[in-house]
Amino acid sequence: MPISPARVAAYEILLRVEQQNSYASELLHSTRYQTLSGLDHGLATEVVLGVLRWRSLLDSEIAQVSSTLLPKLDREVLTSLRMAVYQLLFLERVPGHAAVDDSVDLVKRARKRSAVPFVNALLRKITGSGERFESLRQEMRLRAAGAESADPRAEEESADRLAQRYAHPLWLVERWAGSYGMERARAICRHDQQVPVTALRLRDAEAARELADADVLLRPGHLLSRAWTVESGDVTHTAAFRQGRVAIQDEASQLVALLVGRANSILDCCAAPGGKTALIADRNPNSRITAVDLHPNRALQLRRLANNSNVRIIAADARALPFNATFDAVLTDVPCSGTGTLSRNPEIKWKLQPEDLGELQTRQLAILSSAMERVASGGRLVYSTCSLESEENEAVVDNALKNHQGFRLGDCRMDLEELRSGGELAWPDLDSLLSGPYLRTIPGLHPCDGFFAAVLKKI
């Protein structure tokens, strides 16, 4: 029998993530895989993101029965093993023989025929371990569902145990435990291992009805009164989504864009893919908005999403903006590590290294410093990341304020109170959204990605 198209797609994507530093979510939604049926695309997505979420745990299980050290295995062989073990342990509806047979055939397809007996024997060892295998499957499915572990040691909190149980690099868990405490570190790790909620922003009044007609069931958002979450259905197959009238955008991302407020002239410094730009433009239909992104191809993508007539799009480096104009409001949502988005982008945790944070900070500070030069007198700047790391957040803001004496740090509480009084902020616990003067959403504590934001005001 031919290999399942879903598994072929998952295999190709996982190899590209591993070998080419690609991002899984972008590949899954690329034109190459648009011809997959809904069921096949769903299985491919489940396998790709599941393998990336649980990679270290899968590797641990493989290593226990492998006669060869994992670093010595060909990447194609290890990828096929990870796929099979993930399906065997986590996916109840996938027949075990189908997962095993297709993984063996994927090794053949990759022209690694000499490894076929090894792969076959290893997978048979795992599935043939009887009671241990069934117990492990039950435990893995509990973890994936975010339920309390059946392991009696689960409550013995330590960074090392959390890293093992929830498949995270130890250095990241240790950082979060130090910054947020062990309880929140555990909540972050658990949140990262679950399928995230799909949040929407509807750009016109008819969109909700059209989605309902297309069998997309919506529920009200949690943070914002005008946000929605998808209960069931596929919004990406609807006309409203293709026309750009429905945007998939995490609620914390929407909240950051709302902090920009209303102004006559607005600059968005790192604008692609364009969700925040579009929200800002919808909220400020008569304003002059300039959106900048470094990469020309992403600027084209930005134009498709932020299709408002009052948005001017420029492909340029935000560290050296090619104009001297100043703006009443500036958004600087800088490129970052993305550690607040690991439920959506699990490959980040395996790519990121501690030394990367210093390099990112240097770039972020350069972008912020450039943006501060474009704020008009009396104007405001919102600096944001989707990172949980202080080097990219408070440290960048502190350094920028030391170098630019004409700014003061605003208190995000005032902005959140204004959004709440205006009926836009629905989250009841305002204090939980704040870390001193900063906005801070935490995965697991809040039903969204982890975002940081600071408001800087020009005196």
Residue 91 resides in a domain: yes
Residue 172 resides in a domain: no
Cis link prior to 71 (omega < 30° from 0)? no
Q: What is the pTM of this model?
A: 0.94
Q: Judge if 377 and 449 occupy the same domain.
A: yes
In 265-342, where does DSSP find H-type helix? 275-283, 296-305
Regions of the chain with pLDDT less than 50: 150
Q: Judge if 267 and 394 occupy the same domain.
A: yes
Q: Judge if 291 and 235 occupy the same domain.
A: no
Residue 338 Cα to chain centre, angstroms: 7
In three state form, how does the secondary structure of 144-173 look? HCCCCCCCCCCCCCCHHHHHHHCCCCHHHH
> Any idea which residue has 């202080």 for tokens?
390
Q: Judge if 274 and 395 occupy the same domain.
A: yes
Checking DSSP bridges between strand 434-435 and strand 438-440, what pairing results, if any?
antiparallel
Q: Judge if 321 and 447 occupy the same domain.
A: yes
The active-site residue, picked from 189, 269, 386, 448, is 386
Number of domains in the chain: 3
Measure the CA–CA gap between 249 and 220, rounded to whole angstroms. Answer: 14
CATH code, domain with 434: 3.40.50.150
Buried b / exposed e along 35-49 (16+ C-beta atoms within 10 A): ebeeebbebbbbbbb
Residue 364 resides in a domain: yes
Q: Specify the pLDDT at position 2.
A: 86
* Residue 335 contacts residue 291 (beta carbons within 8 Å): no
Residue 176 resides in a domain: no
3-state secondary structure at position 132? helix
CATH code, domain with 243: 3.30.70
Whether 269 sits among the annotated catalytic residues: the reply is no
Q: Specify the pLDDT at position 155.
A: 53
Q: Judge if 428 and 441 occupy the same domain.
A: yes
For residue 229, the enclosing domain spans: 199-248
Q: Judge if 208 and 287 occupy the same domain.
A: no
Q: Judge if 256 and 221 occupy the same domain.
A: no
Q: Judge if 266 and 232 occupy the same domain.
A: no
Amino acid occupying residue 31: T
Where is 346: in which H helix or E strand? none
Q: Judge if 19 and 81 occupy the same domain.
A: yes
Nearest to 286 by CA among 266, 301, 303: 266
Q: Specify the pLDDT at position 157.
A: 77
